[in-house]
Amino acid sequence: MTSFEFTSQVQKISLTLRPAAMNLTRDADDAKDLVQETLLKALLNKDKFKAGTNLKAWLYTIMRNTFINNYNKITKRSSNIDSTEYFQYFNTDQNYITHNGATSDFVVRDINEAIAGLGTDYRTPFMMYYIGYKYMEIAEKLQIPIGTVKNRIHIARKELKSALHVYAPVGASSADMTDVIED
């Protein structure tokens, strides 16, 4: 199909697009804009149209997708999330609120002492993992098997959990405390 034939067929079908656009937009000006945008996209993408297929259906599909994309853009732009309820509960757990700097200093000191109390074989892989190294990287740097790395990190966590049990939330199980140390 030549460009002239394609353009003339699109022009003929364009008259039938307006009522469908009006159904989608429910506004005359928006319907005109939608038809115009649809025709522009069709003419710019005429090379994607396969001869022998239904041109009218192709144009309706372009129009529907254009309408949906425009609708999504508008709703994303205008949606306001009310975060007041979320922030109302943010950091309200009394176990994690620091009321003064002294308490925070005690906690940090206790954590540092607990880590320092770990044997070097356990502290080194644990700290490497803590700062972001992957198991494989730790194994390569320390020249030990990956299973040994995982085991030493696991043992270090268990020892830290035991040393820092006073900071476990009231009523927390030992599994909950392990989750805290792993994070």
**Exposed/middle/buried for 146, CB within 10 Å: 0-12, 13-18, 19+?**
middle
Q: Which long-range contacts (CB under 8 A, 24 or more apart) does 32-40 make?
A: 34/63, 34/66, 34/67, 34/70, 35/63, 37/66, 38/62, 38/63, 38/66, 39/10, 39/14
List average pLDDT for each run of 10 residues in the chain, which is 183 residues long: 85 90 90 93 90 90 92 72 51 54 74 89 91 90 94 93 81 54 52
CB atoms within 10 A of CB 79: 7
Q: Pick the closest to residue 61 from 112, 17, 22 (CA basis).
A: 17
d(CA 34, CA 17): 9
CA distances from 12 to 15, 30, 35, 53, 109 (A): 6, 21, 13, 16, 79
Check: CB of residue 1 under 8 Å from CB of residue 51.
yes
Check: CB of residue 126 under 8 Å from CB of residue 114.
no
d(CA 38, CA 79): 26
Residue type, position 165, single letter: H
pLDDT at 138: 93
pLDDT at 93: 53
Check: CB of residue 69 under 8 Å from CB of residue 76.
no
Check: CB of residue 167 under 8 Å from CB of residue 150.
no
pLDDT at 108: 81
